[in-house]
Structure 1
């Protein structure tokens, strides 16, 4: 009788124990699930942060590339502007040139001598006959030919070029004239060959700067050319 009572008294305890185990197991499962969820959330957050960092790095790289391209463009523009300025300065510097190359200056402006009626009206360049003579500056030919192109036989074959602003250049004692009246010439363009024609003691070029196309209006050509940046 006593044994049956004892057996029955243990059943509720066993049920409660099993219930406790199940609850504990369920709790562990819930805790495990929560941990997994937390880990998944952490992974998602990490992935999002990594993506954001990558996006920021890409944006910074793009901005740096754009800045570099802008700087390169600016540098190229600056170089182009400098080149243009240099070309303009060079063009301005050579707006006037010597009428001949490889010369020796001989008779000077306003010098006295027996080869001319009064003081010398130009600058002589001692050079061999046949030396190319070029326009000292661009302009229009207003005189060309023998008899000093109208200024008298003492000049021999001659050319006079109008440059504007009451400025003319004259080239005399030429062996050959390569231009004609009305022709437009550029700075440095060949216009004649030097010679020994007219009232000349030897091969040379007689060069004048005038305020009119005619004899009697000459100014010091060396002083004029030096003021234009030409070193004689």
Structure 2
């Protein structure tokens, strides 16, 4: 009987090999493209989150800065006016009547021992300083008048010693005199006025005025 020769497995054609290789490459590229798209989306989300976080941080920082600025302004305003003496007892008040005064009392009295340091309640320029009320009359004794930037005037009277001269600039809280008992005075104290002019007769309630600038008497 004739013998059969075993048949060999068919080899894949070159066309099929090229097609399979192309498919594999395409699959790989597609995966890479999908992976790249995912990375791009993730990067976009991350960038968006950073922008949002940055905007929130800036808003909080801006608000904190505004609050700090407002607080500083309020503190500066309060610190720009001070008491004329550090420790005192209030005595005769503004508008009080009696035989001690030709009219009504024109200021607020601070009962303090003679020699107590007297301070400028606000920065300004000395426009009056001397005996006989610095020109306002002997009842005031030794006195000082300071003009402030808003054309408000502060007056200090019955002083035992004057420590400033006319034309001198003084700072808020600066020492200007020593309290005393000169002029028409029933005992050691500082007579203090707030005026609308440098002269007698233009006084306003000094306690009420100081309250408007943050100083409680």
TM-score by length of 2: 0.81
Aligned match of 1:51 = 36
Alignment of 1:150-189 (within 5 A): 150-163=135-148, 167-189=152-174
1:210 pairs with one of 182, 195, 200: 195
Aligned match of 1:73 = 58
Aligned match of 1:61 = 46
Partner of 1:26, secondary structure, is coil
Deviation at 1:142, TM superposition (A): 0.5
Deviation at 1:178, TM superposition (A): 2.5
Deviation at 1:205, TM superposition (A): 0.8
Partner of 2:76, secondary structure, is helix
Counterparts of 1:65 and 1:130 in 2: how far apart (Å)? 66
Alignment of 1:191-202 (within 5 A): 191-202=176-187
Aligned match of 2:208 = 223
2:11 pairs with one of 25, 37, 40: 25
Q: State the aligned residue count.
A: 217
How big is each residue's C-alpha offset from its partner over 1:42-99, in whole Å with a ceiling of 9 and x where there is no partner?
2332222222222332333233223323332332222222222222233334444332
Deviation at 1:191, TM superposition (A): 2.2
For the aligned residue pairs, the C-alpha RMSD in angstroms reads 3.0
Deviation at 1:107, TM superposition (A): 0.6
Deviation at 1:166, TM superposition (A): 5.2
Deviation at 1:125, TM superposition (A): 0.7
Counterparts of 1:165 and 1:73 in 2: how far apart (Å)? 38
Counterparts of 2:164 and 2:196 in 1: how far apart (Å)? 21
Deviation at 1:104, TM superposition (A): 1.5
Quick check: 1:140 aligned with 2:125? yes
Deviation at 1:230, TM superposition (A): 2.9
Partner of 1:111, secondary structure, is coil
Q: Which runs of 5+ in 2 are unaligned?
A: none
TM-score by length of 1: 0.77
Q: Name which one, 1 or 2, has greater alpha-carbon Rg.
A: 1
Which runs of structure 1 show a deviation greater than 4 angstroms over 4 or more consecutive aligned residues? 29-37
How big is each residue's C-alpha offset from its partner over 1:91-112, in whole Å with a ceiling of 9 and x where there is no partner?
3344443322222110112223
How big is each residue's C-alpha offset from its partner over 1:145-204, in whole Å with a ceiling of 9 and x where there is no partner?
222222233222211012355532110122332222112233333322222233323221
Counterparts of 2:177 and 2:28 in 1: how far apart (Å)? 92
